[in-house]
Amino acid sequence: MGIILNLAILFLILLGIFTLYLLVFAIAGKVTNANTTTRTPKTQRKFAVFLPSYKEDKVILESAKKALIQDYPKALFDVIVIADSLKPETVAQLRELPITTYEVTFETSTKAKALNYAMAQLTEQYDIALILDADNIMATDFITKLNATFDLGYQVVQGHRTAKNTNSPTAILDAISEEINNHILRKGHRALGLSSALIGSGMAFDYALFVDVMSEINAIGGFDKELEMRLLKRGIVFDYIEDAFVYDEKVQNAEVFEKQRTRWIAAQFKYLKQNFASGVVHLFKGNIDYANKVFQALLPPRIILLGMLMFFAFVSIFSGDFNFKVLAWGQLVTLLFTFYISTPDFLKRLITWKEIMLLPSLFFRFIRAILKMGEAKKKFLHTPHDS
């Protein structure tokens, strides 16, 4: 019993490192203002707005139409849809819009292939590449705010991706998860001088840089993770704009949630394995940003961390060991506090017993996602969107 208890305490100490890491950046995000865009830009850059769309017939037309509604000069941004496996009638409707549409078919479809194909076809000269998901809707001032931030000398800028729907308990929890990540991994990191995490969409890059780094990427899933690692390894800093919004559809049922997280976890493990050794080397070379990103890949998903701490807190009641109880309950309270201060008030008000009772189910779906992540190495696991 003594050996098991000691092992449990050692494991809790490891979890404590992760919990403390999240707490530090959550507090930093609270005490320091994030970058906003009240400045007047010196230059108006030309944007290529990419909308890769794989089997997204339900949402791509609305997204493409809404992408055209910006308060930025229309001559200075082009909307480019990459239509992968869309229905012929959808492609026909896209071609009626004042956008560029490329129809593609790949043996194995990936976002990286779609983007590389489109960039190889374009003849226009662009300053900025802006990447959206097929379901994303930009706020009308989104490009204007991105443009202003590039005046500060950044080559990579992440916008504030937020939920456009909270119409189910799963969607509410997904929206909360996204905002916690925004607060800790983006706002909190920038507050302490580290790069914002990228999120796969609502992100913009110096065009020449993006073309260059994407030529090295052919990831099946999680292309944004590989993009992060490669750019941070080069010493490039990513900014985050809290008041530049792009609205993203949150998953509305647990089955889709599991599929999406399977893809995400597979990417996390893959890039941790590929970058762990070089992350340690670059830490001693002074590249804290890259080493920090590798450490982030060690972090368990937030719901898994919460579930493990709840388990240990429950077990500690019967252990009879005071130190074990303090360690388990102290970490659980710390993590809950971290989540609380990282969640916007409007989302806190949406939490009911339905959302709380759903958490155990999502925990076990996360476990299943980990066990099934081998699927994501072989093919792209598509997350369907409805609205």
**Residue type at 64 in one-letter notation:** A
Among all chains, which residue has been given the structure tokens 């972090």?
299
Residue 338 and residue 102: Cα distance in Å, rounded?
44
CB 264 within 8 A of CB 255: no
CB 215 within 8 A of CB 160: no
The pLDDT assigned to 272 comes to 83
Among all chains, which residue has been given the structure tokens 């590039």?
150
The pLDDT assigned to 321 comes to 84
CB 135 within 8 A of CB 53: no
The pLDDT assigned to 6 comes to 84
Beta carbons within 10 angstroms of residue 74's beta carbon? 9
- 344-347: long-range pairs with CB below 8 Å, 24+: 344/179, 347/166, 347/172, 347/175, 347/176, 347/179
Domains of the chain (ranges; CATH) run 2-32+268-378 (no CATH), 47-253 (3.90.550.10)
**Residue type at 312 in one-letter notation:** F
Tokens of 282: 């670059």
Residue 78 and residue 168: Cα distance in Å, rounded?
34
CB 97 within 8 A of CB 166: no
Q: Which residues of the chain have pLDDT under 50?
A: none
Please name which of 21, 330, 360 lies closest in space to residue 169, comparing C-alpha atoms.
Answer: 360
- Distance of alpha carbon 42 from the chain centroid: 30
pTM: 0.91
Residue 329 and residue 19: Cα distance in Å, rounded?
12
- Mention every residue, 6+ apart, whose C-beta is less than 8 A from residue 376: 220, 221, 262, 263, 265, 266, 267
- Mention every residue, 6+ apart, whose C-beta is less than 8 A from residue 361: 254
Tokens of 328: 């388990």
Residue 138 and residue 66: Cα distance in Å, rounded?
7
Residue 145 and residue 159: Cα distance in Å, rounded?
9
The pLDDT assigned to 375 comes to 63
The pLDDT assigned to 29 comes to 94
The pLDDT assigned to 364 comes to 86
The pLDDT assigned to 110 comes to 87
The SS3 of residue 174 is helix
